[in-house]
Amino acid sequence: MQEIDFSNLVADQSAAAFIKAMKQLDLDWKNTLPEDAQIVFYILLSGGGMLEIGHVTEEGYNGLRIQGRDEQGEIYVLIVHQATVQIMCKVLKITPEHPRRPIGFGPHPPGPQETEAS
């Protein structure tokens, strides 16, 4: 697996730079994986747990809005400061129990509190 250069984050500590680095990591790794593998991103929680990330977008200059589903399939939304978030990337084999689920970057999808009328 190739080394990923995150030196661009030193000059720009914005959430946009953080997301850009995550997106580049995703693209770089995808090019090295076999067809039956995928990269999965997790956010590590302070209490020791972790949640699979489905979508990441900016929430202001330093904020991240992270969405996904927990182990029970329930939707979650976390708003965090990009300097405090810990992300783990893992390569998993695609199986019926863990189908391909690409991560999204950019404008956020509707959250559980948002409706078509809002």
Per-residue pLDDT, averaged over 67-89, amounts to: 89
Compute the CA torsion angle 93, 104, 15, 23 (nearest 10 deg).
50
For residue 111, pLDDT beyond 60:
no
Tokens of 27: 């693209």
Q: How much is the mean pLDDT over the chain? A: 80
Tell me the pLDDT band of 114, cut-offs 50, 70 and 90.
Answer: very low
98 vs 74: which has the higher pLDDT: 74
Average pLDDT estimate for 85-107? 86
Whole-prediction pTM value? 0.75
Instruction: Produce one character per residue of 80-103: b if its CB has 16 or more CB atoms within 10 Å, e if not.
Output: bebeebebeeeeeeeeeeeeeeeb
